């Protein structure tokens, strides 16, 4: 295993081991008696991998800290699905009609307060958990 491994998980009821590392990679190991070693490295995250989870299928999920992504790895196919996490983007706000000038808002339910509204800051994704083979949940420091 890499010295910088942050997360280690076995695929349920198998000898396959996944590790997530600060070097932004996932490594796959086969600890069955006939192999007992390293199999391959999976690349894709742009920041350190904080957590990895796996169930019985030949896939796993990982979170990439400040790169704000969850990656669903299909190990046998050597592919990944990337899910972007976190908050609002300016483009999405414009498309949803949510970006208005501060003085001339046409929102009938707007309430003026003396305190400024705190803007949402997109944070780091830090934890991941697989619920079943196609569903997972993630969490981060933005709440």
Whether residue 109 is contained in a domain is answered as no
Whether residue 35 is contained in a domain is answered as yes
pTM for the full predicted model = 0.70
Residue 74 near residue 62, CB atoms below 8 Å: no
Whether residue 82 is contained in a domain is answered as yes
pLDDT digits (tens, 9 = 90+) for 38-91: 999 999 999 999 999 999 988 899 988 788 889 999 988 989 999 887 555 555
Mean pLDDT value across residues 6-22: 92
Whether residue 110 is contained in a domain is answered as no
Query: Cα angle vertex 60, ends 13, 84, to 5°?
Result: 160
Residue 53 near residue 96, CB atoms below 8 Å: no
What is the pLDDT, as a whole number, of residue 100?
54
Whether residue 106 is contained in a domain is answered as no
What is the pLDDT, as a whole number, of residue 87?
55
| Number of structural domains the chain divides into | 1
Q: Which domain covers residue 41, as residue numbers? A: 5-97+120-140
**Domain containing residue 81: CATH number:** 2.130.10.10
pLDDT digits (tens, 9 = 90+) for 115-139: 555 555 567 888 899 999 889 999 8
């Amino acid at each position: 295993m890499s010295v910088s491994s942050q997360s280690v998980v076995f695929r349920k009821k198998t000898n396959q081991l996944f590790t997530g590392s600060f070097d932004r990679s996932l490594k796959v190991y086969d600890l069955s008696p006939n192999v007992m070693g390293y199999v391959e490295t999976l690349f894709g995250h742009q920041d350190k991998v904080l957590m990895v989870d796996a169930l019985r299928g030949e896939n796993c999920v990982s979170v990439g800290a400040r790169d704000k992504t969850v990656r669903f790895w299909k190990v046998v196919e050597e592919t990944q699905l990337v899910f972007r996490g976190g908050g609002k983007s300016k483009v999405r706000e414009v498309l949803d009609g949510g970006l208005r000038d501060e003085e001339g808002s046409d929102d009938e339910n707007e309430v003026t307060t003396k305190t400024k509204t705190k803007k949402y800051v997109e944070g780091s994704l830090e934890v991941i958990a697989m619920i079943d083979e196609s569903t997972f949940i993630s969490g981060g420091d933005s709440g």
